[in-house]
């Protein structure tokens, strides 16, 4: 059984003016997501700025989110690293904190071979008991997890159960689903491709859009699963200009700007990410107004 079906939010990590994690605000964000029917919280991923967290912060944020959620919906913790040992340690900590699963990005910078990827993910998965979802985002990592590698890992390692496919390659997702016969849970990693991914047999999305439009993103998935394809497609198409604006600069710069425009006060991203350029922010504001969330 999949860890979740529907819309999982790739939750931002709010920071105070001094750069520290704002746990009071983080609790508000989690409660807002649950109130708006988000199906899963995905913590400390790319959108959560895990790359600029200390290991202590990383673990503390996972532990805090699990304590706030208290089992009401699943929590998946981003625990990937280009260092296998670090990813193992973070995954063990996430399991101990109460996470329902982990999200494992492919090793970046050192760019492992497919055999290296298999060894890396297998070693991490065998250190824990909770399910693992692979995260394929070659635009950030410089390496692609090939469909055959995903399918083999899910077949041979009991608790590797799926993949967040953010390559933008529908053929890769289709190949995974075809080769696996359905035992690999595929999630869209791109908000502009949710409905097409569901049509191929995907389980849902791990979404940036959900940070600012949680109910609409949930509804997009729920309508599809209930057979209201026209309703699902309508939400997807209406959201396209907003999604485009959310990615006109590198994530999570725009989504944090959007949340601040909504009065959520999540702070600025940590360096090397910077605040959104004024022209881009104006465009984002206009699309938020058109979508009806501002």
* Active site positions, annotated: 135, 164
Cβ pair 10, 211 in contact under 8 A: yes
CA 15, chain centre distance (Å) = 19
What is the distance between the alpha carbons of residues 222 and 236, in angstroms, rounded to a whole number? 12
The backbone region for 132, taken as left when phi is positive above 0, alpha when psi lies in -120 to 50, beta otherwise, is beta
Written as six digits, the tokens of 102 are 């982990």
Written as six digits, the tokens of 34 are 């649950």
Nearest to 169 by CA among 204, 205, 145, 140: 145
DSSP β-bridge partners for residue 6: 204
Is the N-terminal amide bond of 252 cis, ω within 30° of 0?
A: yes
Is the N-terminal amide bond of 105 cis, ω within 30° of 0?
A: no
- Cα-Cα end-to-end distance for the chain: 37
Q: What is the dihedral of CA 140, 142, 146, 149, to 10 degrees?
A: -90
Kindly list the distances between the CA atom of residue 25 and the CA atoms of 32, 65, 255, in Å, as whole numbers in the listed order: 11, 11, 16
What is the distance between the alpha carbons of residues 201 and 191, in angstroms, rounded to a whole number? 16
Cβ pair 205, 194 in contact under 8 A: yes
Tokens 């003016």 correspond to what residue? 17
């Amino acid at each position: 059984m999949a860890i979740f079906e529907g819309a999982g939010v790739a939750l931002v990590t709010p920071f105070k003016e001094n750069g520290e994690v704002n746990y009071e605000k983080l609790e508000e964000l989690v409660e807002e997501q649950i109130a708006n029917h988000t199906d899963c919280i995905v913590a400390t991923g790319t959108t959560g700025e895990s790359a600029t967290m200390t290991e202590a912060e990383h673990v503390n944020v996972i532990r805090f989110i699990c304590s706030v959620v208290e089992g009401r919906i699943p929590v998946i913790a981003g625990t990937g690293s280009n260092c296998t040992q670090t990813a193992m340690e973070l995954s063990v900590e996430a399991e101990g904190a109460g996470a329902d699963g982990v999200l494992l990005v492919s090793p970046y910078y050192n760019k492992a071979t497919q055999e290296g990827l298999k060894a890396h993910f297998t070693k991490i998965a065998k250190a824990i008991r909770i399910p693992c979802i692979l995260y394929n985002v070659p635009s950030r990592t410089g390496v692609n997890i090939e469909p055959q590698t995903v399918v083999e890992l899910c077949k041979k390692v009991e608790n590797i159960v799926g993949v967040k496919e953010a390559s933008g390659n529908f053929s890769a997702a289709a190949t995974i689903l075809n080769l696996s016969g359905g035992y690999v849970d595929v999630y869209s990693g791109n908000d502009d491709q949710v409905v097409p991914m569901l049509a191929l047999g995907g389980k849902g999305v791990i979404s940036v859009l959900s940070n600012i439009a949680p109910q609409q993103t949930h509804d997009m998935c729920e309508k599809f699963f209930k057979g209201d394809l026209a309703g699902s497609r309508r939400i997807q198409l209406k959201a396209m200009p907003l999604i485009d604006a959310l990615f006109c600069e590198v994530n999570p710069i725009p989504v944090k700007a959007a949340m601040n425009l909504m009065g959520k006060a999540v702070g600025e991203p940590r360096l090397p990410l910077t605040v959104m350029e004024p022209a881009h922010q104006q465009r984002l504001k206009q699309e938020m107004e058109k979508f009806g969330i501002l």
